[in-house]
Amino acid sequence: MATPSMPRSFLQVAATDEIAPPLRVVQIEGLVILKIIKHCKDHSPSLVTGQLLGLDVGSVLEVTNCFPFPMREEDEEIEADGANYQLEMMRCLREVNVDNNTVGWYQSTLLGSFQTVELIETFMNYQENIRRCVCIIYDPSRSDQGVLALKALKLSDSFMELYRSNNFTGEKLREKNLSWVDIFEEIPIKVSNSALISAFMTELEPDTPVAQCDYDRLQLSTSSLMERNMEFLIECMDDLSVEQQKFQFYYRSLSRQQAQQQAWLQKRRSENMARKAAGEEPLPEEDPSNPIFKPLPEPSRLESFLITNQISTYCNQINGVSGQSFNKLYLMKALHEED
């Protein structure tokens, strides 16, 4: 006769069920998005950051509150004050019974230029204390064009494993089957509002079906945005060319070293043949003390991966802006022909 299973407490479930389901949705309250937009726009074009607070519930990461960080300075005393400010904010939120669990951070960007080593290092620092965290990226410059440029990012598990080993050689990347598109994972964002807020927004909705932002989307001039994207794209191409030159120099040095090794081995084998003919002991064919047998360090491919990722972002933005511009021009052409 089977014995009935005893119900487990929450602590027992948390202790045994260590494998969490994959993160599928980041659910953000509308008030949090408004706070992020206001903070980023008030300090634009300077880049700002802030803390995200909420709950990790199964496959959904709920973001229920946020607060801004002070502007970053190089002075160590000011950085210490910033850390104390964060702790004080968390304490105050806990006292008023507001969610004070850290689930990540948000930051502003300029035309999508956020794929940096600093962002990866920040992710890794958060991962030491938080199992799952996200970074909300907001781009005020793109949002001015009538698009809510808001995305949630996290590092892929395979990339984090490779980053901990600090081994970004070509052989290791091929072994892990990792490419530049596997660094970041974009998580879908779901905006959530309470029923009271939704009713209040309905009351505030104007009677006219067309708002000013709808007219802003009809602007034909996108040259400034295209020019800045092209400028950043050219800079990234120059940086990628510098990285490629590093690899070319490495492979030239490696070929030169291999040729020197073959010449040294050929000479040592000739000496051993002569020593055998003279009845002497042959010399070893490997000499670790010889500098030509010292392995050359292969340059890391992380920087080139990030630059390639950034180039892809700029190309997608240029493609999107140019496509919208062509649609507007064809629309205006059709309207003029009807007149």
Give the pLDDT score at 36. Answer: 92
- pLDDT tens by residue, 100-127: 788 899 999 888 788 888 888 888 888 8
Mean per-residue pLDDT, 146-159: 86
Give the pLDDT score at 23. Answer: 87
Give the pLDDT score at 238. Answer: 92
Specify whether 200 is located in the same domain as 331.
no
Higher pLDDT, 338 or 260: 260
Q: Give residue for tokens 């052989």.
A: 171
Specify whether 243 is located in the same domain as 140.
no
Give the pLDDT score at 80. Answer: 58
> What total number of domains does the chain contain?
2
Closest residue by Cα to residue 37 from 136, 153, 120, 184: 136
Q: Is residue 175 included in any domain, yes or no?
A: no
* Domain enclosing residue 144, as ranges: 20-155+188-218
Specify whether 150 is located in the same domain as 283.
no
Specify whether 143 is located in the same domain as 263.
no
Q: Is residue 174 included in any domain, yes or no?
A: no
- pLDDT tens by residue, 282-297: 877 777 777 778 888 8
Q: Is 82 helix (H, G, I), strand (E, B) or coil?
A: helix
Q: Is-contact 30 193, C-beta < 8 A?
A: yes
Task: Label residue 275 by pLDDT band (50, 70, 90).
Answer: confident
- Omega before 45 within 30 of 0, i.e. cis: yes
Give the pLDDT score at 11. Answer: 45
Q: Which residues contact 58 (CB under 8 A, 6 or more apart)?
A: 20, 21
Q: Is residue 173 included in any domain, yes or no?
A: no
Mean per-residue pLDDT, 43-70: 87
Specify whether 77 is located in the same domain as 206.
yes
Q: Is residue 94 included in any domain, yes or no?
A: yes
Specify whether 116 is located in the same domain as 32.
yes
CB-side exposure of 4: number of CA atoms within 13 Å? 2
Q: Is residue 59 included in any domain, yes or no?
A: yes
Q: Is residue 164 included in any domain, yes or no?
A: no
Specify whether 243 is located in the same domain as 204.
no
Of 123-127, 133-137, 168-172, 267-271, minimum mean pLDDT range: 168-172
Q: Is-contact 102 53, C-beta < 8 A?
A: yes
Question: For the chain, what percent of residues have pLDDT higher than 70?
Answer: 84
Specify whether 104 is located in the same domain as 208.
yes
Which of 60-69, 224-233, 273-282 tops mean pLDDT?
A: 60-69
Q: Is residue 102 included in any domain, yes or no?
A: yes
Specify whether 101 is located in the same domain as 248.
no
Both tokens of 57, joined, read 């519930």
Mean per-residue pLDDT, 63-92: 73
Task: Label residue 78 by pLDDT band (50, 70, 90).
Answer: low
Residue 221 pLDDT > 70: no
